[in-house]
Structure 1
């Protein structure tokens, strides 16, 4: 019955207070009994007791340092980001979703560089 009262006290106490009240209320034998405690035909089952470390200042500083480094990295990426250039529509095809960068006609080498000269040469050939 004493074990039930200790468990009830731990469940009603805020987590921050568990460390100090736990050490005062429980000895080693009671702690080991709490690890595999079950009651009322396994309605209440506690598989393990997890303790919170009280000295987390080193971990907190490490996390804050990592967060600061991440913020600096994102800031640098945003500052170095170039604005996206607007895609030009292709002059050969009439659809609005056909841009010059994906046009197979403009991907051919030699033809797209001097289109006017190519067309002139076609009609100016000696027969």
Structure 2
């Protein structure tokens, strides 16, 4: 039996997730729109695990393209320690913060996956009654 959950989503959004490092690329959530471009997306989300290897010029280029299309831009940084070390990581943190509309820092990629799913319109399956 389905609890209070609606039987349909109140909206659906096409979210382009852009991994900024190899760990993020390997951890991309399943079912994301493959081949989605900035022009087709409703929102762009940058995903990073290791800020020390992020290409700052790529961040700026992606965000400029998204902003030119009027897209919302967010960054999700996954860091188990909730901190970053090294000059390159601190520089990338500043570049990302200045380039996006919102930054979310999470401890686990599973939380990042759930966050992107919420941005897309919520769970795909109805919520079962826990009674």
- TM above 0.5, one fold? no
Question: Which one has the largest radius of gyration?
Answer: 1
Greater RCO structure (CA 8 Å; 6+ sep) = 2
TM-score where L is the length of structure 1:
0.22
Larger fraction in strand: 2
**TM-score normalized with structure 2 length:** 0.21
